[in-house]
Chains A and B, each alone.
Chain A
Amino acid sequence: MEQVSDTLVPLTLTIDGVHRTEAVDRRSLLVEALRDDFGATAPKTGCATGDCGACTCRVDGAVVKTCLQLAVAAQGSDITTISGLAPRGELGPVQQAFWDEQAFQCGFCLSGMVLAAEDLLSRNPEPTDEEIRWAISGNLCRCTGYETIVAAVRTAAERLGAADS
């Protein structure tokens, strides 16, 4: 077993507010470490080449496709998955809008879609439909045809705007 354990290194992450250290294969992608070693399975592996976005998380404030980063490169990072977006089992405004607008079917793309939408609205609170489509274009969905996802982001923007004013 020596060769196998040789590849293990300790990795410390804060995931959805919980600070933990686990032994991680140093060859692992961040998404693999999150899912397999830390048990954070909300991000999914859809391609492992950065094309589908299903593995998206917020890493130190930036929206990151976690299949494009080695786990060890995230040492000490603060990571938010969609499980950590809203406290105490409630839904955040973007999540709520996705539910209300039927903006997903199989749900496999949701990590990426919701985090990309949150990221857009944090920078641009009143996006046009074209801006929404551009913002989520790094994330693939095979079920919805994107129409209701665009509607959900629009709805979330309206609700957030109404709440602010």
Chain B
Amino acid sequence: MDGGGLVVSHDDSAAALAQGSAYSGSSVRRHDGDRYLQGHIAYSDDLRLPGMSHAVLVLSPLAHARIVAIDTEAAQARPGVLAVLTGADLAAEVGPIPNAMDPAGVGGRDVALRVLPVSKVVYAGQPVVAVVAETRAAALEAAALVHVDYEALPHVLDAEAAMAEGAPLLYEEWGTNIMLAGTAGTGSFEDVRQTAFGVVEGELRTGRGAPAPMEPRCYVADWDVQTSRLTWHGTTQAPHPLRHSIASFLGVRERQVRVVAPPVGGSFGYKNFGHPEEYLVCALSRIVGRPVKWVEDRTNTLRYGSRDMRLRYRAAFGADGRVSGVTCHMLANHGAAAATGAFGMALAGGLALPSGYAVDVFEAEYQVVVTNKGPYSPMRPFGKEASALLMETVMERVAEETGLDPFEVRRRNWVRSDQFPYATSTGLLLDSGNYEGLLDKVLEDFDLEGTRAEHARLREEGRYLGIGLGFEVLPEGADIPGALIGASDISTVRMDPSGDVTVLTGVTSPGNGNDTAIMQIVADRLGVSMDSVSIVQGDTDICPFGFGNVSSRGVLTGGGSAALAADDVADKLRRVAAGMLHCDDPGRIRLGDGMARVEGEPEQALPISAVAGALYTVGYIVAPDVEPTLEATRTFKMHNIRHQPDDGGQFNLFSTFSNAVYVSVVEVDVATGLVEVLRHVMVHDCGIMINPRFVVGQFTGGVVTGLGAALGEEILHAADGSLSTSGFKTYLLPRANDVPAFEIAHQVTPSPFTPLGTKGAGEGGVACSMASVLNAVNDAIRPLGASVNELPISPHRVLASLQEVDR
């Protein structure tokens, strides 16, 4: 690995898959790539329904204010306007937005969120009035004529200030701004502190980041008066759960709602369900009796944030570098309340501690606080970046204090490969892993001592380079009690009389290729070519129930259940073929290359399409004992998920725990504060990979999100609470020339708990990159006596840390 380009090694995965896999384990191309490349994919905003009208929302200019009066008369009078509606108008029509996850379910405070507020606004940019018109231009013109009279209230943007005595309250009925507080962990830190060799303590901060997929949100609701049925098209990760919640919102039966999700232009957590506009368009369509479309602009996507946490920690350690106990306090700035379950990021961040380290005593305390920033949004890796940052900082600090090599400190603290499945001090059951193996693999191509010597030499020239390690363990495949976020998705596999195969599945694809990977799995199981297989996702009238794409589930649960369903169909094909080929034992029928063959008798063979056709047309003759269907629907349960509390009151909500070790090399320009990533060496373990190239794509995308979070992306507000970072000129997504070439390798430790040995791979790379870059920057500037503890490590933060030393 020389940094010259993408280096991928994945031989292990193909070898670990069952013999006879024609496709699984190989990086076949996207099945529909040609359609994407010709611009023939219709995304939500490309839909044109007959009679479609357009909704434009009037937004609050104030961060916190009471709504005194709304004058819609002038807007109503504009040509082409179909309706102008306020929160008060709609409150009589429809219920509050159902929670994707209810904070009250975990001891938090809930607020009945309306699609438009009735009495007050709690962030600048909050939608207040909806204008529906024949065209978007007409709606925009009318929206400009809506007059809202506000009474400004004091606002609070900072989480600590929001908890102070006398702080302005967003939701007065709570009597506080604390939405949720809780603890996770085992044992008493105080006890281990007494006997420890030393204790480190400190603080970390992460800036507010936006998921910012390239495609903003877009929803089209179509209430059909004749059938009393709503068809909803839009940017969603979770069609079935959304359908359930739309029905509840509208007060109709679930069967009266159909959700269709066209291909999505990236989601990253942002397009899970619970956003007000998802429901608002439904109410508007029912009122105006026509399809209503709402499309988001870029600025609005940047009102939704994640991370924005303050982490305080203390860690007790021995002279040998072993960490005996950690205590941490996590404070998350939620911004305004949301129904998306985004508060769960603090919970997941707490539960993911103490990462993959064997730390027996762990006390985590978390607080989620509402402020007058825009709402929190789910975003990969869903709070787990906090746990990685915290533990990787602890390990660095312990190395500093003990004088041990920071890489060696990790080795001494990692859960060993012979300890799995391993119960962590926060109650998780880590399925499998070989963390030392990851580091060994990184070091195969990274000359640690040589690089350190080179950095020492460069320091003599006034150049500051550093090496940093990052390590992540990502709880994935979540099953949340009481919420429509589960770890079991359903797939149907169907073979037609012609031998063509259709897969219907409840998981969706945000563009990552899981549809192609599921087709690979099914084609192999049935012994047919990929060309014979098609897949349908994202339509609740057609697909079996599923949770969409959240918590890295596509191949894990959708692929796993499709494999089981395909196996059922394959069994039937073998029985029919055995009858047709006069073979007594269906177990001797091999399916492959589109043929059913008797093992050891190659001339005894039939095309699989002929076998399928025969069952449909002459089943009573060729297969009298076989039920005449070539269709199966399956799912499975994750056997390591535990919702009943154990003796310590702990649960395991996650099924797989993919992991990675990264080593970054950075150079810090001490004159400008600019950080450049020179090398980013990564070894991942997400178990068996069905399509290694798709997996790598997930990681490289995550890495760039992580580099953005580490070095540049930050949602900022002006003192009055308005958004300062209102577009991509100020909210700085990494561009192609901002990131280095990556060096990537894999280790394959199959999960013992999933049908295919796969683990979630959709959230990898973000947390690890944030940690490795932070540690590398601190390694670079440590000789100057400086350190940074706040991300993104923008130039001004580097310069401030250096100036602190000068004083």
Q: Which residues of A contact B (CB under 8 A)?
A: 1-4, 7, 25, 27-28, 35-36, 39, 41-49, 51-52, 54, 81-83, 85-86, 89, 91, 95-96, 98-100, 102, 104-111, 114, 129-130, 132-134, 136-151
Q: Which of B68-76, B151-159, B259-267, B528-536 contacts A (4 or more CB under 8 A)?
A: B259-267
A105 contact from B29, B48, B79, B513, Cβ within 8 A: B513
Q: Given that A83-B39, A107-B41, A142-B214 are contacting pairs, would A39 and B135 also be in contact in the complex, using a CB cutoff of 8 Å?
A: no
Q: In the assembled complex, which residues on chain B have CB atoms less than 8 Å from the CB atom of A114? A: 37
- State whether B265 touches A99 (Cβ < 8 A): no
B733: A residues at CB distance < 8 A: 140, 142
B80-102 with Cβ < 8 A to chain A? 80
Give the chain B neighbours of A25 by CB distance below 8 A.
135, 137
Q: Please determine whether A108 and B701 come into contact, CB atoms closer than 8 angstroms.
A: no
Q: Are A148 and B266 in contact (CB under 8 A)?
A: no
* Cβ–Cβ contact A145 & B703, under 8 A: yes
Contact call A107/B511, Cβ cutoff below 8 A: yes
**Which residues of A are found within 8 Å of B742, using beta-carbon distances?**
145, 147
B141 / chain A contacts, CB cutoff of 8 Å: 3
List 7 other contacts, CB 8 Å, given A91-B34, A105-B510, A105-B701: A41-B39, A42-B39, A91-B38, A95-B34, A105-B511, A107-B37, A107-B511
Contacts of A99 in B (CB 8 A): 29-30, 33-34, 37
Which chain B residues numbered 11 to 43 have a C-beta less than 8 Å away from chain A?
27, 29-30, 33-34, 36-43
- One of B391-399, B599-607, B692-700 at the interface: B692-700
Contact A98 B79 (CB under 8 A): no
B65 in contact (CB, < 8 A): no
Q: Are B79 and A108 in contact (CB under 8 A)?
A: no
> Do B512 and A4 have beta carbons less than 8 Å apart?
no
B537 at the interface (CB under 8 A from A): no
**When the two chains form their complex, are residues B214 and A109 in contact, meaning their CB atoms are under 8 A apart?**
yes
Task: For A139, list chain B residues within 8 Å (CB).
Answer: 736
Indicate which residue in B37, B137, B263, B264 contacts A98 across the interface (CB closer than 8 Å).
B37
Render B38-80 as a binary contact track against A, CB cut-off 8 A, 1 for contact: 1111110110100000000000000000000000000000111
- Min CB–CB distance B137 → chain A (angstroms): 5
Residue of B nearest to A145 (CB): B700
Query: Which B residues touch A82, using CB under 8 A?
Result: 37-39
Closest 8 interchain pairs by CB?
A42-B39, A106-B511, A145-B700, A108-B265, A51-B728, A99-B33, A107-B36, A105-B511
Query: B214 near A54 (CB under 8 angstroms)?
Result: yes
Nearest-neighbour CB distance to chain B for A130, whole angstroms, equals 8
Chain B residues whose CB sits within 8 angstroms of the CB of A52 once the complex forms:
214, 298, 728
- B511 & A143 in contact (Cβ 8 Å cutoff): yes
Interface of B, helix, strand, loop or mixed by DSSP = loop
Nearest Cβ in chain A — how far from B679, in angstroms? Answer: 14
Are A151 and B38 in contact, CB atoms less than 8 angstroms apart?
no
B36 touches A104 (CB 8 A): yes
Q: Mark B118-147, 1 if CB is under 8 A from A, else 0.
A: 000000000000000011111001000000
> B702 — nearest CB in chain A belongs to which residue?
A145
Can you report 17 residue pairs joining A to B where beta carbons are below 8 Å apart? A25-B135, A42-B39, A44-B215, A52-B214, A81-B39, A82-B37, A82-B39, A95-B37, A99-B30, A106-B510, A107-B36, A109-B214, A134-B736, A139-B736, A143-B266, A144-B700, A147-B742
- Contacts A48-B298, A140-B735 known; A148 to B6 CB distance under 8 Å? yes
Kindly provide the distance from the CB of A94 to the nearest chain B CB, expressed in whole angstroms: 9
A137 touches B736 (CB 8 A): yes
* Cα(A132)–Cα(B134), bound, Å: 44
CA distance A51 to B699 in the complex (A): 24
**A114, B34: Cα distance in complex, Å:** 13
In Å, the complex CA distance between A106 and B694 comes to 12
Within 8 Å by CB of A83, from B38, B48, B268, lies: B38
Distance between A146 CB and nearest chain B CB, rounded to angstroms: 4
Within the complex, the shortest CB–CB distance from A69 to chain B, in Å, comes to 17
Instruction: Specify the chain B residue showing the minimal Cβ separation from A81.
Output: B39
Kindly list chain B residues whose C-beta atoms are within 8 Å of the C-beta of A134.
736-737
Asked if B655 CB lies within 8 Å of chain A CBs, one says: no
Q: Does B430 touch A at the CB level, under 8 Å?
A: no
A53 nearest in chain B by CB position: B214
- Tell me which of B48, B78, B729 contacts A51 (CB under 8 A): B729
Per-position binary interface string of chain B over residues 204-232, scored 1 when its CB falls under 8 Å from any chain A CB and 0 otherwise: 00000000111110000000000000000
Contact A137 B735 (CB under 8 A): yes
Q: Does B739 contact A (CB under 8 A)?
A: yes
Q: Given the interface contacts A91-B34, A106-B510, does A144 sit within 8 Å of B697 by beta carbon?
A: yes
Instruction: Flag whether B625 is at the interface (Cβ < 8 A).
Output: no
> B540 to nearest A CB, angstroms?
21
Is the Cβ of A106 less than 8 Å from the Cβ of B214? yes
Report if B541 contacts A (CB, 8 A): no
Complex contact A1–B137 (CB within 8 A): no
Question: Is B630 engaged at the interface, CB distance under 8 Å to the other chain?
Answer: no
Give complex CA distance A102, B27 in Å.
Answer: 9
Residue in A closest to B727 when the chains form the complex, CB atoms: A49
Separation in Å of the B133 CB from the closest CB of chain A?
9
Complex Cα spacing A111 to B41, Å:
12
A137 to B701, Cβ gap below 8 A?
no
- CA gap between A158 and B705 in the complex, in Å: 30
Name B265's contact: one of A7, A35, A44 (CB within 8 Å). Answer: A44
In the complex, what distance in Å separates the CA atom of A138 from the CA atom of B718? Answer: 27
B5 at the interface (CB under 8 A from A): yes
Q: Which of A48, A54, A148 contacts B700 (CB 8 A)?
A: A148
CB distance B38 to A133 under 8 Å? no
Q: Is the CB of A147 within 8 A of B741?
A: yes
Check B332 for interface membership: any CB of A closer than 8 A. no
CB-CB under 8 A from B29, the residues of chain A are 99-100, 102
Query: Is the pair A102, B694 in contact by a Cβ cutoff of 8 Å?
Result: yes
Give the CA-CA distance A138 to B736 in the complex, in Å: 9
Using Cβ atoms and an 8 Å threshold, which residues of chain B touch A148? 6, 697, 700
CA distance A105 to B702 in the complex (A): 12
Complex contacts, A140 vs chain B, CB 8 Å: 214, 728, 733, 735
Inter-chain CA distance A25–B54, complex, in Å, is 15
For residue B612, CB closer than 8 A to chain A, the reply is no
A109 to chain B, nearest CB (A): 5
Q: B38 touching A89 by the CB < 8 A rule?
A: yes
A102-B27, A110-B37 as given contacts; A3 in contact with B79, CB under 8 Å? yes
CB-based contact A142/B268 at 8 Å: yes
The docked-state distance in angstroms from the alpha carbon of A44 to that of B213 is 13
Chain A residue nearest to B78 (CB atoms) is: A3
**Distance between Cα atoms of A23 and B487 in the complex (Å):** 51
Q: How far is the CB of A51 from chain B (nearest CB, A)?
A: 4
Assembly CA distance A105 to B476 (angstroms): 21
Does A146 lie within 8 Å of B34, measured CB to CB? no
| Chain A proximity of B548: nearest CB distance (Å) | 15
Q: Collect the chain A residues with CB atoms within 8 Å of residue B38's CB.
A: 42, 82-83, 85-86, 89, 91, 95
Q: In the complex, A130→B80 CA distance in Å?
A: 51
**In chain B, what residue has the closest Cβ to A36?**
B136
A20–B518 Cα gap in the complex (Å)?
Answer: 42
In the complex, chain B residues whose CB is within 8 Å of the CB of A149: 736
A49→B736 contact, CB < 8 A? no
* Residues in chain A near residue B34, CB distance under 8 A: 91, 95, 99
Report Cα–Cα, A81/B33, bound state, in Å: 17
Query: Smallest Cβ distance from A59 to chain B, in angstroms?
Result: 16
Cβ < 8 Å to A, chain B residues 728-782: 728-729, 733, 735-739, 741-742
